[in-house]
Structure 1
Amino acid sequence: MFRQLPPTLYSAVVMELFERLAYYGMVLVLGIYLVEHIGIRPDVYGVVYGVSTAALYFLPLIAGALADRFGYKPAFVVAFATLTGGYALLGSTRSFPLICVALGLIAVGGSIVKPTVSGTVTRTTKEGSTRPVGFGLYYMMVNAGALIGPVLAAQVRNRTEFRYVFWVSAAACALMLVQALVAFREPVSAEERRAGKSIGRVLRDMLLVLGNWRFVLLLVIFSGFWGMIQVLFAFMPLYLQSFTDLLAVEAAIDRVVPLTRWAGHWLNPEVFISLDALLIVLLQAPISAATRRWRTLTAMLVGTSVGTVAWIAPALSPAAGVVALGICVWSVGEMICSARFFEYCGTIAPPDQVAVYLGYSFLSLFLANLYAPPWFGLLYQRFVTDRVAAHAAPQFIPFFGGVMLMGGLAVVGLALYGRFAAPARDR
């Protein structure tokens, strides 16, 4: 079946692999770098992280329309040129304003890649034939990048200077810039580009979608779930770096599988957190099969509940085994409900507007990133950093309690939504 896919699609998904590799290699060490090496306060870091990641989920609405109008090849060229510059700047400066500029460039470049790759898959495959295989390959590359990037970042920062992690990300994007220029073939004809969406059409679609109060309410409620995942990426690396003895875990693993013989020190916080991505790769299919008969809202409610209680583990202890248990429980909740959210967004949309609603479902992630990382930053500053600076014991329960509060509100909101606001067929 993979042989039926055109070279243009393979070129696009390889670019997705390298973009995700570069991004996850950067984002899982960003907090450690900015807080411990640059000296930025966690509450400030939370705001910077939140704004930059929020842009990643809002800008694709505009970037996708521009790619349809001007072509996918120019979009990829602009994206990877911007990403290369952003990562290179991040690895070259210790100036806070320039770091913000670098993260802004990375957000802009990443927001162009996301809709352009998915658009390429759609345009180069056939509905009901090669399209499921094409998107399966696409998501495989996303998860592969999420696994490889942190492992590569750990090796680079263990063997060289920290800033070279960002230079490796820049090199990965520079390589894809060359591929976009040389190997990628434009899948959008001139006639199709002329018929592409205008920015005005994008804004009209946004007003149309935001006029559906049920849909908007769902986006707001479920943003609590998406918000919780940001503590895993933004603040768990800091938590693990400071309070978890990963060297002891590495030594225990080495007694069974002697990885340090050829990899040296390898179990950094970013690798430990990649347990989440590994579990999704291994277990998403069986968990989806096991829960396929559940009502969609039920799956969303159960998954959010499981994800919320997962944070009890690191709240009680920073011991590696306890934290790993929490990550495993979180992963199960994520696998139960994350895909079902997008499924439900499609079912509550008018039949002729499903694609539009699915595109704007990412506004829930945009909203989550606007408020969740700043909230976590305030909590981490108050209950962890300030207390350590005052030579007092850090208070993990209030910090993770703030995370669970967000999840708890989402659980209550989903229960009330299912009872009072969902379409009659879903109650």
Structure 2
Amino acid sequence: MSITKVFKKFPRTFWVANTIELFERWAWYGFFMLFANYLTGSTDIGALGLSQAQKGIIMGVGTGILYFLPVITGAIADKYGYKRVLGISFVVYSTAFIALPLFNTFAGVFTMYLYLALGAALFKPIISATVAKTTDEETSSIGFGIFYMMVNIGAFIGPLVTLAYKDSGYTTVFYISAGVILINFILILFYKEPERAIKQESLGEAIGNVFRNIGTALSDFKFVIFLLLVAAFWSMYYQLFFTLPVFITQWVDTSSVYNFFEGFMPAVTETYGKGGQMDSEFIVNFDAMFIIIFQIIISSIVMKLKPLKAMMGGILVCTIGMALTLYTQNVLFVITAIFIFSIGEMASSPKITEYIGRIAPKDKVGLYMGCSFLPVFAGSTLGGVISGNVYGSMSDKVNLLVKEVEKRGLDIPAISKDFSATEYFNRAGELMGMNQNELTQFLWNTYNPDNIWYVILAIGLFAVIALYFYDKLLLNKKS
């Protein structure tokens, strides 16, 4: 069947659902890419000045819960209708974005982020289910390809839009995301409820059945081991959002990229640069751009490989890429590493679900597929620990400077609401006889914050090696 004929087979609801997905991802990544620096940045620039450990808990646990909740919210959508639950999710989403900047304490922000995660969890299972229900065997491959393209376009556009207004204050960032979600209130008017089986069971019974099915799948020890190993991949993936923006802001010299755009496209530096440096989120956003450009090419290569080989190869490439992003202060090296990471991401992520289908008993494929969210939940939580406590102790520029100040016995007030991190750095530089660039280089050479790349590398290599032996020894089969 030609592409034109396939496109004609898609009903209007398919296109409406995908457009809704694009704007939802736009709103989500518009704030999420900036969230780590918002949580930990200096208070004098409108950030909250929280610790890396607090950031790790908020982003790691909160995002993990977001991916766990769809087992419940999916049952709610099946019970009460997709369109109604979509409307509720948009209400939660928009009010959460508006309320988030009103809180500046760890407890308050964490609570509001969980509320935002609820909105995302209500939304998440509906659009993918709609795509599944509005495609058939002939159109599903292209249909889900369009769906994932919309996800990545939204993920790419979102940060570019919000970054353009970051100088107006982080509150503006959240309000932009709320405004983008409001567009979906209009689009939902054109959304037609797809056919679904109406079950007589109560919501409590439906949720109970979901957890019983999960329990049945998790009684398979081999399957649990696989999910834990895949969680290692997701723990690395989330460093793209949890750690890398902070690392670039604190340590990486982005002036070469700034100078390039200043010479050829000065509007870019005017929008996404300041003081001769590019916004770290602009650099990290290269990942989404690479996926948009190369996803079809990588998918066409990977589809010829067996799931395990593609998954192991992808995770290995992801490991190398993410580790190398935290290895240097050279921004061109970082961008190259992000490209390497994106190749691994494109190769491994789709194959994980496919491999679950391969290893599941024939009569339990649906049960096992329903657990595909669990490694994302575990990986996000573990990723929060790496980005929080581990990064905070090994690589956080603020903590390392405080350590050096205490070692030298310098008299500088502690960082607080009345004495920002920026003021602390300026005072330390004056007392140590260094400008800020010299101070950064001194801390880099003295404390080696790049050593965190060993942590990422170790986790990824363990996952790859363990997956190989898992397949050969536990499953005793070639996949």
Amino acid at match of 2:236: M
- Which range is displaced more, 277-286 or 41-50? 277-286
Q: Which digits, 9 at most, give the CA deviation of each residue in 1:262-289, with x for residues without a partner?
A: 8564942222111111112221222222
- Rounded to whole Å, the distance in 1 between the matches of 2:106 and 2:388 is 17
User: What is the match of residue 127 of structure 2?
Assistant: 117
User: What is the match of residue 187 of structure 1?
Assistant: 194
- Rounded to whole Å, the distance in 2 between the matches of 1:230 and 1:315 is 13
- Rounded to whole Å, the distance in 2 between the matches of 1:275 and 1:20 is 16
Match of residue 66, structure 1, among 67, 76, 84: 76
Deviation at 1:2? Answer: 2.6
Question: CA separation of 1:133/1:291 partners in 2, compared to 1, >3 Å: closer, same or farther?
Answer: closer
- The total of aligned residue pairs comes to 422
Match of residue 236, structure 1, among 217, 220, 244: 244
8 Å CA contact 1:71–1:193 kept in 2: the answer is: no
Deviation at 1:167? Answer: 0.9
User: What is the match of residue 141 of structure 2?
Assistant: 132
Amino acid at match of 1:4: K
User: What is the match of residue 421 of structure 1?
Assistant: 474
Amino acid at match of 2:402: A
**Bigger CA radius of gyration:** 2
8 Å CA contact 2:261–2:268 kept in 1: the answer is: no
Question: CA separation of 1:108/1:146 partners in 2, compared to 1, >3 Å: closer, same or farther?
Answer: same
Deviation at 1:140? Answer: 1.4
8 Å CA contact 1:86–1:104 kept in 2: the answer is: no
Question: CA separation of 1:147/1:81 partners in 2, compared to 1, >3 Å: closer, same or farther?
Answer: same
- Rounded to whole Å, the distance in 1 between the matches of 2:116 and 2:255 is 32
Deviation at 1:179? Answer: 3.2
**Superposed, which structure 2 residues align to 1:329-340 within 5 Å?**
329-340=340-351
User: What is the match of residue 292 of structure 1?
Assistant: 303
Aligned: 1:224 with 2:232: yes
Secondary structure in 2 aligned to 1:424? coil
**Superposed, which structure 2 residues align to 1:316-331 within 5 Å?**
316-331=327-342
Deviation at 1:14? Answer: 1.6
Amino acid at match of 1:139: Y
Q: Which digits, 9 at most, give the CA deviation of each residue in 1:362-406, with x for residues without a partner?
A: 211111112221122112211222113334435233222222221
Match of residue 282, structure 1, among 290, 293, 317: 293
User: What is the match of residue 155 of structure 2?
Assistant: 146
User: What is the match of residue 359 of structure 2?
Assistant: 348
Question: CA separation of 1:243/1:202 partners in 2, compared to 1, >3 Å: closer, same or farther?
Answer: same
Question: CA separation of 1:375/1:278 partners in 2, compared to 1, >3 Å: closer, same or farther?
Answer: same
Q: Which runs of 5+ in 1 are unaligned?
A: none
Secondary structure in 1 aligned to 2:137? coil
Deviation at 1:55? Answer: 1.1
User: What is the match of residue 388 of structure 1?
Assistant: 401
- Rounded to whole Å, the distance in 2 between the matches of 1:39 and 1:264 is 22
8 Å CA contact 1:91–1:167 kept in 2: the answer is: no
8 Å CA contact 1:54–1:367 kept in 2: the answer is: yes
Match of residue 251, structure 1, among 213, 236, 259: 259
User: What is the match of residue 108 of structure 1?
Assistant: 118
Q: Percent identity?
A: 29
User: What is the match of residue 314 of structure 2?
Assistant: 303
Question: CA separation of 1:260/1:204 partners in 2, compared to 1, >3 Å: closer, same or farther?
Answer: closer
**Superposed, which structure 2 residues align to 1:8-27 within 5 Å?**
8-27=13-32
Amino acid at match of 1:124: T
User: What is the match of residue 169 of structure 1?
Assistant: 177
Q: Which digits, 9 at most, give the CA deviation of each residue in 1:314-360, with x for residues without a partner?
A: 34312101111211111122222221111101111123432332231
- Rounded to whole Å, the distance in 2 between the matches of 1:174 and 1:157 is 20
Question: CA separation of 1:183/1:262 partners in 2, compared to 1, >3 Å: closer, same or farther?
Answer: farther
Give the alignment's Cα RMSD to 1 decimal. 2.1
Amino acid at match of 2:364: Q
Question: CA separation of 1:178/1:289 partners in 2, compared to 1, >3 Å: closer, same or farther?
Answer: closer
Deviation at 1:247? Answer: 4.2
Deviation at 1:202? Answer: 0.6
8 Å CA contact 2:256–2:331 kept in 1: the answer is: no
User: What is the match of residue 85 of structure 2?
Assistant: 75
8 Å CA contact 1:89–1:98 kept in 2: the answer is: no
Question: CA separation of 1:174/1:101 partners in 2, compared to 1, >3 Å: closer, same or farther?
Answer: farther
Question: CA separation of 1:423/1:48 partners in 2, compared to 1, >3 Å: closer, same or farther?
Answer: same
Secondary structure in 2 aligned to 1:360? coil
Secondary structure in 1 aligned to 2:325? helix
- Rounded to whole Å, the distance in 2 between the matches of 1:185 and 1:295 is 38
- Rounded to whole Å, the distance in 1 between the matches of 2:258 and 2:237 is 25
- Rounded to whole Å, the distance in 1 between the matches of 2:125 and 2:269 is 41
| TM superposition score normalised by structure 1 | 0.92
